[in-house]
């Protein structure tokens, strides 16, 4: 079935250390990813994204709770599950002295039913660099080769950890298209990214993590639904009156108005300005977006925790 859960995370926690030095990178995580879905996992630095992925992929064990991928435990049943997974880590570990083609051929040799090496190099835009040694590839080219290794085994479930980091705009768009094609073919994809426009464009659903827990989740529309819009303007000589359903804050030469009814608030502001012959300069009205939601969460984040805590 299309909506059958492929990834199930039930009260999963990941702890580093013990006793007084114990640190929970992830605590009581609950996730469900459906078949053929592209699910985004976002978060501030140190939020627990990578620790969560490592457990879901079977690269480390959960301290508490459980994880099932395609109905299997990714650690205990890794041998049965591994042929169905494609994993693109943040940093690849391919031999530096092999060419791109040799590296991908070596990787294909570990797969039970791989795609053709040249076909995959073409799909990731690396055919023209197939004879180049890995150590001479640019950062973006190396990322595309990592992606090739992740998809050559025809995975049913694909994990992409920041797949477009270091890519130029054209390569980034091409990667988006390839990811969309993989999703359309029925591959279930879990994606982490720092690019919010990427998440907004690609993800069916997403979860935003903060300090090891999910603080917002759902479709993009659901995540931003209750978040206020913002109206900014240069401070006029006469300040606007209180506007119904809105809050106003003056910061130096700027005025920031937050509202859950941006159209009504903006209309009231413009009518007031017209009646009182006030010129509104620097006027900028923006509905809530994934970026504003994310930044509102990040504003409450303690930078000291992000740099001193466990891996992201």
CATH of the domain at 114: 3.40.50.300
Of 178, 196, 224, the last residue of a domain is 224
Q: What integer is the mean pLDDT of 61-78?
A: 95
29 and 118 both lie in a single domain: yes
- Residues 152 and 101: their CA atoms lie apart, in Å, by 12
The pLDDT, as a whole number, for residue 160 is: 95
Tell me 84's DSSP state.
Answer: G
Q: How confident is the model at residue 61 (pLDDT cuts 50, 70, 90)?
A: very high
| pLDDT, tens digit, 9 for 90 and up, residues 18-55 | 888 889 999 999 999 999 999 999 988 888 998 999 99
153 and 267 both lie in a single domain: no
The pLDDT, as a whole number, for residue 301 is: 54
Q: With respect to residue 58, please indicate whether it lies within any of the assigned structural domains.
A: yes
Q: With respect to residue 262, please indicate whether it lies within any of the assigned structural domains.
A: yes
Asked if residues 223 and 217 have their Cβ atoms less than 8 Å apart, the reply is yes
DSSP class per residue in 202-228? H-SEEEEEETTEEEEEE-HHHHHTTSP
80 and 162 both lie in a single domain: yes
Q: With respect to residue 97, please indicate whether it lies within any of the assigned structural domains.
A: yes
Domain span at residue 185 reads 5-224
Q: With respect to residue 265, please indicate whether it lies within any of the assigned structural domains.
A: yes
Q: Which tokens belong to 44?
A: 């501030």
69 and 188 both lie in a single domain: yes
108 and 248 both lie in a single domain: no
Number of domains in the chain: 2
Q: Select the more confidently predicted residue: 79 or 91.
A: 79
- Residues 216 and 210: their CA atoms lie apart, in Å, by 9
78 and 206 both lie in a single domain: yes
- Residues 289 and 59: their CA atoms lie apart, in Å, by 34
pTM: 0.82
- Residues 64 and 273: their CA atoms lie apart, in Å, by 58
152 and 209 both lie in a single domain: yes
Biggest distance spanned by C-alpha atoms of the chain: 75
């Amino acid at each position: 079935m299309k909506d059958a859960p492929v990834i199930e995370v039930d009260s999963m926690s990941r702890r580093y250390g013990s006793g007084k030095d114990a640190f929970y990178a992830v605590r009581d995580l609950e996730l469900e990813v459906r078949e053929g879905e592209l699910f985004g996992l976002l978060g501030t630095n140190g939020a627990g994204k990578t620790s969560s992925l490592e457990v879901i992929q079977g690269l480390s064990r959960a301290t508490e709770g459980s994880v099932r991928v395609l109905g299997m435990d990714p650690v205990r049943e890794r041998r049965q599950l591994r042929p169905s997974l494609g994993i693109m880590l943040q940093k690849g570990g391919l031999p530096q002295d092999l060419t791109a083609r040799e590296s991908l051929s070596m990787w294909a040799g570990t797969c039970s039913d791989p795609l053709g090496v040249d076909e995959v190099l073409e799909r990731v835009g690396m055919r023209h660099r197939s004879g180049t040694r890995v150590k001479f590839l640019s950062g973006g080219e190396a990322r595309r080769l990592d992606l090739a290794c992740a998809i050559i085994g025809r995975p049913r479930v694909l994990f992409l950890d920041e797949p477009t980091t270091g890519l130029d705009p054209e390569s980034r768009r091409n990667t988006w298209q390839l990811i969309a094609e993989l999703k359309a073919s029925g591959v279930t994809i879990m994606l982490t990214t720092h690019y919010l426009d990427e998440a907004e464009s690609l993800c069916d659903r997403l979860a935003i993590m903060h300090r090891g827990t999910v603080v917002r989740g759902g479709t993009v529309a659901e995540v931003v639904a209750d978040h206020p819009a913002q109206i900014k303007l240069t401070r006029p000589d006469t300040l606007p009156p209180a506007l119904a359903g809105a809050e106003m804050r003056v910061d130096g030469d700027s005025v920031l108005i937050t509202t859950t009814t941006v159209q009504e608030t903006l209309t009231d502001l413009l009518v007031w300005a017209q009646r009182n012959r006030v010129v509104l300069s620097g006027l900028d009205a923006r509905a809530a977006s994934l970026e504003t939601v994310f930044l509102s969460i990040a504003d409450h984040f303690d930078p000291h925790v992000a740099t001193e805590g466990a891996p992201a």
